[in-house]
Amino acid sequence: MYWNANIGAHCKELMTLAKTGPETLTKEEWNELIALKEAITWSPQTVSAEKMEKFTELMVRSLEGKGDDTPR
């Protein structure tokens, strides 16, 4: 029924985030990320597609390096 239910067994390489800009967000970018998150949470229909793309970019940049494996 679910042909790809065990996807993890088929993955040979780890996925990594692409570098999209400077490693850390500036204070202004953090403020914009928080404002957009609140707007999307409370009234998503008021947020333009361009602002949603900006939110996605900022969110991805804020995650860079956080999912890296630790040395064993």
- For residues 15-49, one letter each, b for 16 or more C-beta atoms within 10 angstroms of the residue's C-beta and e for the rest, the string is eeeeeeeeeebeeebeebbeebeeeeeeeeeeeee
Condensed to tens digits (0 to 9), the pLDDT of residues 15-40 reads: 554 555 556 889 999 999 999 999 99
Query: Domains of the chain: which residue ranges?
Result: 25-66
pTM score > 0.75 for this model?
no
